[in-house]
Structure 1
């Protein structure tokens, strides 16, 4: 690719600015994003113009920096132009909330398990005490069985 004329450069810059405005307003093409690659494709220029060429800046590097700056400002203000970025942010928030709920449920399950172990242990101890008292009462012989009203 050879050098471009001043008129072509102006046309490309105008196309880049128009594409920049469209992308930042949320008009993202299918399969694209709010990024330099999509910006270059929408404007019909190569994205190599956004990057420095050795010691000298790229012909559209200033527009790339402006685009990045405007996109960062919008993101900071809570206006995310790229629906994928908004979806990623939403999914990260949901993931954090679900992890928190899962940790709470794990804590509750551990507490219920400890309660169940204590209850079973207490029931076993009570059962043993009842068995011991029954055997002691039968050995001493001073306990009589009472008939209930139903057995008569």
Structure 2
């Protein structure tokens, strides 16, 4: 069925208005910022946006504007924004987890080395004490007892 030039202009105006609303983030609940929602909001058949159909140029314009917003860091679709945010958060958490696992490995190695050093030092102390006790038993010299002196007494 052919439409008149006035109807086509009216449809294009509705499509552009719906396009502006969607790109501002005014997305109906449960919908996305996509051609399907654009067609539904404008009251136009979705197939009219593809191939050589009458509104294919508007689909290209919509996709270009949407891509421009994405490059600028603005995401009109709250679900897409949430997905992007969650993916970034997931990446950060994975990095933190990898850093934590690396730190745990390093600290475990340090603990193992510290315990080994402490055990070696303990063994050395026990050995030196034993050697000192043996040497002391063989070479003990008793010093004379200290004399008591009185200082500053006059008789």
Does the TM-score normalized on the shorter chain lie above 0.5? yes
* TM alignment of 1:107-146, pairs within 5 A: 107-139=102-134, 141-142=137-138
Largest Rg, 1 or 2 = 2
* TM alignment of 1:2-151, pairs within 5 A: 3-6=1-4, 7-52=6-51, 57-139=52-134, 141-142=137-138
Per mean C-alpha deviation after superposition, the further-off stretch among 107-116 and 131-140 is 131-140
SS at match of 2:105: helix
Distance in 1 (alpha carbons) for counterparts of 2:139 and 2:113: 33
- Note closer, same or farther for the CA distance 1:43–1:139 as it changes in structure 2 (3 Å cut): same
Per the TM alignment, residue 103 of structure 1 is displaced from its structure 2 partner at its CA by 2.4
Distance in 2 (alpha carbons) for counterparts of 1:27 and 1:142: 97
Distance in 1 (alpha carbons) for counterparts of 2:104 and 2:14: 60
Q: Which runs of 5+ in 1 are unaligned?
A: 145-152
Question: How many equivalent pairs are there?
Answer: 138
Distance in 1 (alpha carbons) for counterparts of 2:93 and 2:138: 64
Per the TM alignment, residue 131 of structure 1 is displaced from its structure 2 partner at its CA by 2.8
TM-score between the two structures when normalised by the length of structure 2: 0.78
Distance in 2 (alpha carbons) for counterparts of 1:33 and 1:143: 94
Distance in 1 (alpha carbons) for counterparts of 2:79 and 2:117: 56
Per the TM alignment, residue 109 of structure 1 is displaced from its structure 2 partner at its CA by 1.2
